[in-house]
Amino acid sequence: MLCVECAHPVSRLYTYYSQNNIRATTCTNCHKFADKYIECDSVLVGIDLVLLKPQAIRHVVFNVLAPKLPASRWVRSQTQKMMIVITLSDVYLQWAWSVKSEDPATVHFLSNTAPTVQYLCFLFYASLDTAIIHVVVRQMAYYWLHWTALGTLSTGIMLSTAAKLLPIGTLIWDYNMPIVNSIVWWIFGFVLLEHIAVVLNCGYVKATIIGVIALGIRWLVCSAAWSAVTSLATAIS
């Protein structure tokens, strides 16, 4: 746990004296309440999270979802479940977008493979997409910034990947898909950089370097893997 204002570690967020006497902990570093969000409604926390307020990100990542072991490499089970839900939703979105795509390779793939094979291909793509971002950011944070709380970092990355689900409304209202796709990726990139900067507390220059390298490697690997998988699936079918 830490102070959401200055990221200084704290041993507890509040002290329970009795049912009517619970006192919020004051940070010894900045002398503000360590976590003002423990008294807030989850809706307000969610709004501040969408607004990318650093205090809200620290509250959710470090004081709500963080692993019990500070230096753990793994994430808690509820974070794993959220990762699975986000990945499966991303599969659905990518599949829905591809149906409206006019790219010849995509049209050829969809018209020559069974729906089950298509789903497995999109599942592979979304899983690889998520895995590359986590692996690259975690490795750079570990070897460059000597950050050992990798489970906490993955929790922050997981929150940022939720931004990829923003265009869920485009399945209801038919927008210009290529433009929406580009906007979503710019938003996701920005949200990812913000979460890396806040979680690692490393400043925007280092966060941008880590984020750009991760997104670049993700683009190269996923593009090559998608071409190979769709070609193989089409050939087998």
Q: Given the rule CB under 5 A, which residues bind Zn ion?
A: 3, 5-6, 8, 27, 29-30
Minimum gap (Å) between residue 144 Cβ and Zn ion: 26
Residue 33 or 188: which CB sits closer to Zn ion?
33
Cβ burial, residue 31 (10 Å; 0-12/13-18/19+):
exposed
Contact 34, 25 (CB under 8 A): yes
Minimum gap (Å) between residue 55 Cβ and Zn ion: 10
Contact 152, 134 (CB under 8 A): no
Minimum gap (Å) between residue 56 Cβ and Zn ion: 15
Minimum gap (Å) between residue 163 Cβ and Zn ion: 27
Minimum gap (Å) between residue 5 Cβ and Zn ion: 4
Encoded amino acid at 188, one letter? F
Residue 30 or 232: which CB sits closer to Zn ion?
30
Minimum gap (Å) between residue 61 Cβ and Zn ion: 16
Q: How far is CA 82 from CA 78, 155, 169, 213, 227, in A?
A: 6, 10, 20, 25, 28
Residue 7 or 45: which CB sits closer to Zn ion?
7
Residue 26 or 231: which CB sits closer to Zn ion?
26
Residue 30 or 44: which CB sits closer to Zn ion?
30
d(CA 101, CA 47): 33
Residue 6 or 128: which CB sits closer to Zn ion?
6
d(CA 165, CA 133): 16
Minimum gap (Å) between residue 59 Cβ and Zn ion: 13
Cβ burial, residue 237 (10 Å; 0-12/13-18/19+):
exposed
Residue 36 or 73: which CB sits closer to Zn ion?
36
